[in-house]
Structure formats: C-alpha cells, structure tokens
Amino acid sequence: MSKLCEGRVVIVTGAGRGIGREHSLSLARHGAFVVVNDLGGNVDGTGGDASPAQQVVNEIEAMGGRAVANGDDISSWDGAKRLVQTAVEVFGDLHGLVNNAGILRDRTLVNMTEAEWDAVIQVHLKGTFAPAHFAAEYWRDRHKAGQPVDGRIINTTSVSGIYGNPGQTNYGAAKAGIAAFTIIAALEVGRYDVTVNAVAPVALTRMTEGLGPAPETDEEREMRSPKWIAPIVTWLASAESKNVTGRVFEASGQTLAIAEGWHRGPRRDPIADPTKLGPAVAELLASARANAGMNGEDGTWPQSPR
C-alpha cells in the first residue's frame, strides 16, 4: 500500500477517541508522524484524563509508527501555541493540522444557559481558530524565510451547522462558523502554500450516540462507524491535495460529497416602500429552493415557522 503522508507531521485535536482516533491511526498507517491531542474529558467538556491520547500513541507505536501525546487545551491561546510547538520540537516540522476536538451541550434556545452557549462556542470556534492561528503563523514565517511549505488545515464542521438541527443552536452556530472560517482562511493563507478545508462527518460516537435511534443491525453499525471519515482527512492531509482548498466535504459510511454552500438565489430590483414588499417576497420564495434538511437534500425543511 502506498503511503500518502510519508514523513509528514500532523496534529489531530480531540484524537483520543472516536473520529479523532480513527484520523490518527489512518494518518499513521500512511506514514505520518502524529501529535495526538486530547484532554480526555467527558462529552460535555468536563473532567480530564490523559490516558485516551496515550492509548492512541501506544497503538500507533505498536504498528511501527511515531506519535506523541499532548494534553493541552486547544481552546486556550497558550495551549494552542504549545500544541504547535510540540509538533515542531518533537518531529522538527509541521505539515498538517486536523481540528477535530469538540463538545456538546444540547438544549433548545429557550432553555439554553449562557454557560452552555459559551462552552460550546469556546471549544469549537476558538478551539479551531487558536491552533490554526499558530500553525499558519509557523508556515508564514517559513515561507518568508524561503523555506518550503506544504501546509494543510482540516477543520471539522457538521451537517447540524451547514443544514441545521433543532436543539443545537450553540453547536450548529459554531459549526456553521467553522465552515465560514474555512473558506475565509483558505483565501488568506494560500499565499503561504497552505490549504484549508473542512469535513462534515456523520458517524456514531460518544457525542452522537444519544441523538438518534441506535443502529439495529451490523450493517447499520458499519455504515455509522467513524472509520469512514478518516480516508478523506488522510487524503486532505497529503501532498496530493495541494490544489484543493476552501471546500467542505460531507463524509460518512453512506456518502462522500461536497457541500456547495450559500449561493444567491432568485432576485429582483430593490423596493423602497416596505408596504409593497409582501408580494415581492412571496414571488422570491416561490422561486427559491427550500433550505436543505439534515440529509442535505431539498424539500425536507419547512419554509415557514409554525
């Protein structure tokens, strides 16, 4: 088997379990040196345990690969900086950053507390921004010094963010923000030979096991395995993906797709009198595509509130 990431140094956050663990193992199988970052907390972000990250490191070393565990809090400025420094100090370089860490504090809008909102935004949005900032800074400095750069930032968004899911205004807003962050960052760091893409995974993990009906058959469990997310992330971390940037990929055991994002739909000339807007808006809505549902398809989202 050819190794897509031979000798490349890649950080994976939230890598101790589930999807992040699969990313780390796949990257290692393809020759990457992996920084396995994980606080080892609960699904809601509380607690901490260094053993999950170390267990993944042990698995990688058992297969003959190289990895190091890191327990820094990626949603803190200093923690994100130390994480990037760890990759450079241990392995001598950095080629990829996979922002995968996340938590859930699901609640409907009217019941959500300030703390539940802040915690999710902190881990997902700042926990993507801060490591990406320090990785991009490292690559910018190398580029300015005339050293070769072939950098990759791979973020984790969600169908809950790009399509919408009740009970997840905090999580969905954070994940939609990550999709926008991906597109804008790609426009900014391309000059340093760095690409930025995102993946919207669908898989059965600790975070998602209570969000829907449990799989009833082996076939259903196989389709919802987190292992199906790792191939596209491994490819995006490789040198082969150098011409792909600013894209959001959906990945699961059922599909690999590109989410096409916002586009301007039906339009007309502006109207100055708000009393005349009703018929014009009705005309626009009649021609517009309905918002996609969680399956990414048309016609599964109500057009008007109840």
The catalytic residues are 171
Length of the chain: 306
Q: At 22, list the tokens.
A: 């699969």
Task: Specify which residues 152 forms β-bridges with.
Answer: 96, 195
Q: At 4, list the tokens.
A: 């897509």
CB 83 within 8 A of CB 72: yes
Rg (CA), the chain: 20
* Residue among 92, 97, 114 nearest 105 (CA): 114
Q: Which residues contact 34 (CB under 8 A, 6 or more apart)?
A: 10, 11, 12, 15, 24, 27, 28, 60, 65, 66, 67, 68
Residue 47 — left, alpha, or beta (φ > 0 → left; ψ -120 to 50 → alpha)? left
Lookup result for tokens 């690969």: 65
Q: At 237, list the tokens.
A: 């971390």
Q: What is the DSSP letter of 239?
A: G
To 5 degrees, how large is the angle CA 95–CA 12–CA 143? 20
